[in-house]
Every structure is written in structure tokens, then in C-alpha cells.
């Protein structure tokens, strides 16, 4: 009985490590080998009791399909993401996303309110704020939030 | 020294002084046997210690150390999990018979998994909402509940399940309940006492109320919060306890009552943190509270017994519900009052568990307010000095009283 429990505990521990391990592998793979897209965003500053402060984002591009369709991604001349087409079949040779949700960017608790304030003061006719996202095989990972091509953390600290 | 130890010591002294015969002393000692099962307080503090360490790790990670490279943050995410697994292995190999070790290590393991996923989610800005995150974490807590037979880890699972159940479709609540019910069966089968019923009763009452709210009273779906549900269930169990006491001599709600007391305390602590009570309370929850309280008061009034600790907690639940958007401040005062009540009661009867429960409540309230950035530093400083002096005074008083008794 004790031997069985020992095997079960070992299996449980491996599973516990495998799940976050898989998340890490999967995200890194997309981050390093995926294609970059910029998404126009508007941030504000809420709080998650476990994962800390983040800026909540809303994208100007609608990326959700209630029919579960795939969005074929393209880029405009400035590198911003555009949707070329919605298709019902999973694409095999073109970059795509399905119901892409870009709603969180985690930040230091002092920086998150500052990010919201900076966004309010931005002159969006002259300045730009965007999210850089890596996309690969329908998966995506947020690389960073940028203001005028500077990572927001650097923009805030002036570093 | 608790009451039992005291009476045994007194009986020994009476026998020595010839007030009672040695046979009578033996009869008294048989009537009040020493609890050899070990102190539940040790288990309690092992759990509290693990909770504090786990919660502390989550908070440190949530701070978002943005200057650290992602790779280092990811390594840090796995460290507490590996540490908790090592502690669990040690418990399995060397301390399997110790309830304190099993409970403590399972709680630590559960919270380390919470922390690991939280930090990885933070590093990669995972878009999942809080409910999905909690669901994954509690599903990974469940094997630990079974493997280590850990009731405290099960409490984490239940709290998570109730949180999810309040916003997700009702079948999710049913599945989550079904997954944990075999544990109750196993515990009931293997346990000589019925203490585990407290979890079962509380879980079932919350699930039933949640289901009622979701199905029969569908319009309440968006108005009654999980916290209000917990508070109403705690209050309802106090009512059931009072009812059973009135009806007959046999009742098994003592454990349920204790748990409801803990739930009301926990709800008050959450309200003191001011997470969910910023907005005014729902009228429906208020009506349910008033009805249950009226029934409870009627029963207590006809029972003709003196003020009991349960009455204080029932009062706490009601005041908390009535205080609406001032619930944060009300909860702080109520918890402080309850803490001081238990400290005084513990010092009078020299019961360590009462004393420590009171101290724990007060420490928790202090902790909550210590991190409350809405209060200014000077104000906090003065309050802390006054409270510190009061505690030193109480400690001095108790130690003198104990010395007098030992003389």
C-alpha cells in the first residue's frame, strides 16, 4: 500500500512540475520563433490578488469570432496587425489566431498606475502605444508593451 | 494548563489534603481523562504557518520584480514548488503518522503550485481570468488532499470551488463537489469521531444555496456574492445547532458550529481586507440574514441559557452584513473585539486554545491594517504602539496569574 502511495505521489509531483514546465516551454517557443505583430491598445490599471498588478488592455482590432473562426493575420506598412480574412478551416500555411485575447499586461505595482496616467496624457495623434505579440501556429505570447517604440518599463523609469 | 489538567491537579491536591478519598480521586480522573491524541493546536499552527509561508511567497511574486530577467523569474517560480515537494517527501518517509506534518506540507504544496502558476502567468502575461487560474490550481490541490489525507488542503479546494461556483455554471459546482465527496466518505469511514462532518455540512450548505441562487432564484445570480453566501451558511448552521440543542440531547452539529464560527471569522477577515465589500450589500442577502437571525434569536430566547460564544459570532455576521460599505472598518473592530474576548476568556480559564485563537485574530487584524496603505504612517504608528502596550500588559497579567496558580 505504501509502495503504491509512493508511486502515486511521484506521479503527482511529476505532473505538478510538468504543467508549469509545459507552459514555460510553449511560451518560450512562441516567443523566440514566432512572428511579431503590433496591436494598438488602450491600458487601464486593475489588480489580481495572486499575480499582482497589471494593466488591463483593450485592443482597437476586434479579434473575437463568436463562430469560432480563424483570423488570418497580416501587417500594415507600420507593422501593425490587420485581419486579412476570417476562415472556418484551420489554416496550415498562413499566420493565424483564434479568439486572440490581449487583455492583461503584468507590471510592477508602482508602475501600473503610472502606465495608466501616461496613457491618459499621451497625444495619440503624434505618439503611439502598442503591444508587441509573437504569433506561431495559432499560439501567441506578449513580448512587451511599448510607448513610442520604447518598452513601457524603460519609458516610466527613464532607464 | 486547560480545565481538565486543572481539575485533575485539584483532585490530586484534595486527596492529599483528605477532602476526598483516593478512590474518589481516581473516579474524577477517569471522568476527565487527559487527551492523548495530541494537541489540535499543533496541527492548527502547522497549517497557519504553512498558509503564511505560502501566501507570503505569492505576495512576493505578485510584487513583480520587473528588473529580473524572465529566465530567473521562471527558476524562482519552481523553487517553492520543489521545496514543497521535498517537504512532502520527507513527511511521507519520516513523519507519515504526524497529522501536523501531513496537513502543513499539503497546504504548502498547494500554495506553492498557486505561486508557480501565478509567476509564470505574470512573466508571459497569460490572458486567463482569475476563475480559470483558481480552477487549475485547486484541481492540482485535490490529489494532495487524497494522498496526504489533508483536511486543510481540502479547505483551500472548497474555498476555490465556492469562488468558482458563484460565477460559473452550476454543473461546475456539482462536479467540483463530486470530486471531493469520496474524501468525506474515506474520512468518515476511517475516523472514530465525526469532526469531518463540519466540512461536509458547510460544503453542502454552500453548494445547495449556490444551486438555489443559480436555478430557483435566478434573478439573484448577479447580486448575492460568494462571501455573502458563506456568511449566510455560517449563520444558518448556528441556527441548526441551536435547533438541535433545543429538540434533543443527541446532536452532531457541534463540529458544524465550530466550523461556522471559523467561517464567520474568515468572512470578517476578508471584509477587513476590504476586497469585496466596497460596494453596498445586496438586499436579498440582507433579507436572508434577517430571517435566519430572527429564527436564531427566537430559539436562543426560548432556550433560556446564558450568552454563548456562538451568539457573539452570529452577532458578528449580522453586524457585518448590516454595515454595508463600512464593512471593512466594522470587520476590523469586530475581529479585534472577538480577539480580546477570547484572550480574556483564555486567561480566565487558562485555556491555551482560546488564548491563542484570540491572539491569532488580533495578530491577523494587525497584519491586515499594517499593509493598509490608505492609512497614514503616523496614525498606524500610534495605533500599533497602543496595541503593543496593551498586549504586553495582558501577557504580564497572564504570566502572574499562572505563577499564582502554580504556587
Mapping DSSP onto H, E and C, the string for chain A reads CHHHHHHHHHHHHHHHHHHHHHHHHHHHHHHHHCEEEEEEEEEECCEECCCEEEEEEEECCCCCCCCCCEEEEEECCCCEEEEEEEECCCCCCCCEEECCCCCEEECCCCHHHHHHHHHHHCCCCCCCEEEEEEEECEEEEEEEEEECCEEHHHHHHCC
Distance from C-alpha of B322 to C-alpha of B305, rounded to nearest angstrom: 26
Phi, psi of A53 (to 5 degrees): -80, 140
Q: What would the pLDDT profile of A27-79 be if each residue is shown by its tens digit?
A: 888 888 888 888 877 766 665 655 666 777 777 777 777 777 888 888 888 88
Q: What is the pLDDT of residue B370?
A: 58
Which of A123-132, B165-174, B395-404 comes out lowest in average pLDDT? B395-404
Q: Give the other-Cβ count within 10 Å of B69's Cβ.
A: 9
Q: Is B159 on the interface with A (CB under 8 A)?
A: no
Closest CB from A20, A49, A104 relative to B116: A20
Closest Cα of chain B to A10: distance in Å? 9
Distances in Å between the alpha carbon of A46 and those of A102, B143, B372? 15, 33, 17
Distance from C-alpha of A132 to C-alpha of A118, rounded to nearest angstrom: 18
Q: What is the pLDDT of residue B278?
A: 45
What dihedral do alpha carbons B336, B342, B347, B351 form, nearest 10°? -150
Name the percent of chain B lying above pLDDT 90: 6
With a CB-CB cutoff of 8 Å, which residues 125-144 of chain A face chain B? 141-142
Contact B133 A102 (CB under 8 A): no
| Mean pLDDT confidence for A122-132 | 81
- Name residue A80's beta-bridge partners: A38
Q: What would the pLDDT profile of B42-64 be if each residue is shown by its tens digit?
A: 555 566 666 666 666 666 666 56
Q: What is the pLDDT of residue A140?
A: 86
Q: In terms of pLDDT, which residue wins out, B60 or A125?
A: A125
Q: What would the pLDDT profile of B204-257 be if each residue is shown by its tens digit?
A: 666 666 656 655 555 555 556 666 777 777 777 777 777 777 666 545 555 556
Q: In terms of pLDDT, which residue wins out, A23 or B380?
A: A23
| Mean pLDDT confidence for B142-167 | 84
Q: Is the ipTM of this complex over 0.85?
A: no
Distance from C-alpha of A38 to C-alpha of A82, rounded to nearest angstrom: 9
User: Which grid coordinates are listed for B134?
Assistant: 483558481
Closest CB from A8, A17, A24 relative to B81: A17
Q: In terms of pLDDT, which residue wins out, A14 or B342?
A: A14
Q: What is the pLDDT of residue B108?
A: 85
Cell numbers 491572539: residue: B359
Distance from C-alpha of B167 to C-alpha of B161, rounded to nearest angstrom: 10
Q: In terms of pLDDT, which residue wins out, B85 or B362?
A: B85
Q: What is the pLDDT of residue B328?
A: 72
Question: Using an 8 Å Cβ cutoff, are B361 and B316 in contact?
Answer: no
Cell numbers 504602539: residue: B385
Is a pLDDT exceeding 50 seen at residue A18? Answer: yes
**Angle B130-147/B99-123 helices, nearest 10 degrees?**
150
Q: Give the other-Cβ count within 10 Å of B317's Cβ.
A: 28
Chain A to chain B, count of Cβ pairs less than 8 Å apart? 99
Q: What is the pLDDT of residue B25?
A: 84
Q: In terms of pLDDT, which residue wins out, B260 or A76?
A: A76
Question: Using an 8 Å Cβ cutoff, are B79 and B135 in contact?
Answer: no
Q: What is the pLDDT of residue B23?
A: 83
Q: Is A27 on the interface with B (CB under 8 A)?
A: yes
pLDDT band at B71 (very low <50, low <70, confident <90, very high): confident
User: Which grid coordinates are listed for B376?
Assistant: 497614514
Q: What is the pLDDT of residue B36?
A: 46
pLDDT band at A15 (very low <50, low <70, confident <90, very high): very high
Name the percent of chain B lying above pLDDT 70: 51
pLDDT band at B377 (very low <50, low <70, confident <90, very high): very low
| Mean pLDDT confidence for B60-75 | 73
Question: Using an 8 Å Cβ cutoff, are B96 and B115 in contact?
Answer: no
Average per-residue pLDDT for chain B: 71
DSSP state of B351: -
Q: Could you give the angle at the alpha carbon of B303 between the alpha carbons of B300 and B305, nearest 5°? A: 85
A-chain CB neighbours of B63 within 8 Å are 52, 108-109
pLDDT band at B110 (very low <50, low <70, confident <90, very high): very high
Q: What is the pLDDT of residue B306?
A: 57
Coil vs helix vs strand at B159: helix
Q: What is the pLDDT of residue B60?
A: 65
Q: What is the pLDDT of residue B120?
A: 87
Which of B16-20, B261-265, B397-401 comes out lowest in average pLDDT? B397-401
User: Which grid coordinates are listed for B164?
Assistant: 468558482
Which of B127-141, B214-228, B314-328, B341-355 comes out lowest in average pLDDT? B214-228
Contact A52 B116 (CB under 8 A): no
Most confident of A6-10, B96-100, B184-188: A6-10
Q: In terms of pLDDT, which residue wins out, A41 or B179?
A: B179
pLDDT band at B264 (very low <50, low <70, confident <90, very high): confident
Phi, psi of A132 (to 5 degrees): -95, 120
Closest Cα of chain A to B99: distance in Å? 17
Q: What is the pLDDT of residue A48?
A: 60
pLDDT band at B86 (very low <50, low <70, confident <90, very high): very high
Rg (CA), chain B: 23
Amino acid at each position: 500500500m505504501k509502495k503504491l502511495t509512493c508511486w502515486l505521489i511521484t506521479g503527482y509531483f511529476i505532473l505538478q512540475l510538468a504543467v508549469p514546465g509545459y507552459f514555460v516551454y510553449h511560451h518560450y517557443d512562441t516567443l523566440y520563433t514566432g512572428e511579431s505583430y503590433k496591436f494598438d491598445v488602450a491600458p487601464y490599471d486593475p489588480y489580481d490578488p495572486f499575480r499582482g498588478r497589471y494593466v488591463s488592455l483593450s485592443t482597437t482590432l476586434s479579434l473575437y469570432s463568436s463562430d469560432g473562426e480563424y483570423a488570418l493575420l497580416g501587417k500594415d506598412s507600420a507593422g501593425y496587425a490587420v485581419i486579412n480574412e476570417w476562415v472556418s478551416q484551420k489554416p496550415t500555411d498562413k499566420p493565424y489566431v483564434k479568439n486572440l485575447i490581449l487583455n492583461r499586461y503584468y507590471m510592477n505595482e508602482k508602475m501600473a498606475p503610472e502606465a495608466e496616467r501616461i496613457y491618459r496624457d499621451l497625444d495619440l495623434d503624434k505618439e503611439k502605444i502598442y503591444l508587441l505579440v509573437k504569433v506561431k501556429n495559432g499560439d501567441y505570447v506578449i513580448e512587451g508593451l511599448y510607448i513610442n517604440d520604447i518598452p513601457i518599463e524603460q519609458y516610466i523609469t527613464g532607464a | 494548563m486547560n480545565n481538565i489538567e486543572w481539575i485533575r491537579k485539584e483532585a490530586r491536591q484534595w486527596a492529599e489534603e483528605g477532602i476526598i478519598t483516593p478512590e474518589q480521586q481516581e473516579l474524577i480522573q477517569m471522568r476527565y481523562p487527559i487527551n492523548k491524541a495530541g494537541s489540535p493546536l499543533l496541527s492548527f499552527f502547522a497549517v497557519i504557518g504553512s498558509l503564511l509561508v505560502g501566501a507570503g511567497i505569492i505576495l512576493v511574486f505578485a510584487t513583480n520584480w520587473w528588473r529580473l530577467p524572465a529566465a530567473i523569474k521562471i527558476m524562482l517560480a519552481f523553487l517553492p514548488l520543489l521545496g514543497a515537494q521535498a517537504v512532502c517527501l520527507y513527511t511521507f518517509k519520516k513523519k507519515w503518522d504526524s497529522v501536523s506534518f501531513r496537513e502543513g506540507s499539503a497546504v504548502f504544496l498547494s500554495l506553492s503550485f498557486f505561486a508557480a502558476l501565478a509567476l509564470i502567468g505574470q512573466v508571459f502575461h497569460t490572458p486567463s481570468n482569475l476563475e480559470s487560474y483558481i480552477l487549475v490550481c485547486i484541481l492540482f490541490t485535490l490529489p494532495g488532499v487524497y494522498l496526504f489525507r489533508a483536511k486543510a488542503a481540502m479547505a483551500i479546494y472548497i474555498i476555490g470551488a465556492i469562488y468558482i461556483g458563484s460565477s460559473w455554471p452550476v454543473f461546475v459546482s456539482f462536479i467540483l463537489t463530486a470530486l471531493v465527496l469520496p474524501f468525506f466518505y474515506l474520512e468518515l469511514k476511517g475516523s472514530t469521531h465525526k469532526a469531518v462532518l463540519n466540512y461536509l455540512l458547510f460544503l453542502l450548505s454552500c453548494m445547495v444555496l449556490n444551486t438555489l441562487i443559480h436555478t430557483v432564484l435566478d434573478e439573484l445570480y448577479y447580486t448575492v456574492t460568494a462571501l455573502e453566501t458563506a456568511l449566510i451558511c455560517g449563520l444558518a448552521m448556528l441556527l441548526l445547532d441551536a435547533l438541535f440543542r433545543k429538540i434533543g440531547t443527541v446532536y452532531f452539529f457541534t463540529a458544524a458550529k465550530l466550523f461556522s464560527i471559523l467561517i464567520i471569522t474568515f468572512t470578517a477577515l476578508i471584509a477587513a481586507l476590504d476586497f469585496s465589500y466596497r460596494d453596498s450589500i445586496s438586499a436579498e442577502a440582507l433579507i436572508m440574514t434577517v430571517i435566519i437571525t430572527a429564527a436564531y434569536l427566537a430559539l436562543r430566547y426560548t432556550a433560556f441559557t446564558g450568552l454563548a460564544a456562538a451568539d457573539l459570532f452570529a452577532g458578528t455576521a449580522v453586524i457585518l452584513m448590516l454595515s454595508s460599505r463600512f464593512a471593512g472598518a466594522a470587520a476590523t473592530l469586530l475581529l479585534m473585539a472577538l480577539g480580546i474576548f477570547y484572550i480574556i476568556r483564555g486567561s480566565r480559564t487558562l485555556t491555551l486554545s482560546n488564548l491563542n485563537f484570540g491572539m491569532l485574530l488580533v495578530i491577523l487584524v494587525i497584519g491586515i491594517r499594517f499593509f493598509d496603505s490608505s492609512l497614514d504612517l503616523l496614525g498606524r504608528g500610534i495605533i500599533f504602539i497602543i496595541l503593543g502596550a496593551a498586549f504586553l500588559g495582558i501577557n504580564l497579567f497572564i504570566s502572574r496569574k499562572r505563577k499564582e496558580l502554580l504556587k
